[in-house]
Amino acid sequence: MATAHLTVDRAEKFRIVCGILDRHGYRPSGLIPILQAIQREYQYLPEEVLTFVATSLDLPPARVFGVATFYAHFALEQKGKHVIRICDGTACHVKQSLPILNAIHGELGTSEKQKTSIDALFTVETVACLGACGLAPVVVVDEQVYGGMTPERAVALVNEIKMQEIAGDAQAAAAAVNGELHVH
């Protein structure tokens, strides 16, 4: 039974990638926008998909992997649903960004080696600079900037997101139950 589920997931994954390739006309010159669209879909660039893209565009796999690894925007490892970026540039570092990072790691059970939480809800990354030095120390969650961060505020923010996820899951479950009740 598990094998059938994996086969469906793989088929769906490649159906989506084929749609992206179709929209870009299977043009090798569209490699970067193609990779961007794939990453938007999956939050990262799966290795098997990169190989498929190379074959589909008649490009050497090394070229596709080279582009994917050259640009920092692309991720080759799966990320959590929410990406937390902690600035450790000079201004943020001087204003104690490391205790913020440690507090977030402690709350999520992540580390520098294990960047994504076990539940795949969060990925924690450090970045050299977020360009918001006047707000230091800065944390960005899903492109939303939070300045003047403290370890306590960071943990509260993480917990707020967790609660929103739980509430969203409860609403989805209730909608599914209500939907099933209306069907019968």
Q: How many CA atoms lie within 13 A of 62 on its CB side?
A: 0
Size of the chain in residues: 184
The answer to whether the beta carbons of residues 31 and 64 sit under 8 Å apart is yes
Distances (CA, A) of 150 to 82, 104, 105, 111, 137: 19, 10, 14, 18, 8
**Cis previous bond, 151, omega within 30:** no
Rounded average pLDDT over 22-30: 96
Residue 177, helix vs strand vs coil: helix
Percent of the chain, pLDDT > 70? 89
Fold of the 2-70 domain: Arc Repressor Mutant, subunit A (1.10.10)
> With 70 as the cut, is the pLDDT of residue 4 above it?
no
Query: For position 116, what pLDDT does the model report?
Result: 93
Sequence ranges of the chain with CATH classification 1.10.10 = 2-70
Q: Which of 34-38, 40-44, 99-103, 170-174 has the lowest mean pLDDT?
A: 170-174
> With 50 as the cut, is the pLDDT of residue 41 above it?
yes
Sequence ranges of the chain with CATH classification 3.40.30.10 = 82-180
Tell me: domain 82-180, CATH 3.40.30.10, correct?
A: yes
Any idea what DSSP says for residue 135?
Answer: G
- The band of 181, judged by pLDDT with boundaries at 50, 70 and 90, is very low
The answer to whether the beta carbons of residues 156 and 104 sit under 8 Å apart is no
- The band of 180, judged by pLDDT with boundaries at 50, 70 and 90, is low
Backbone angles phi, psi at 111, to 5 degrees: -155, 180
Stronger pLDDT, 71 or 145, i.e. the higher one: 145
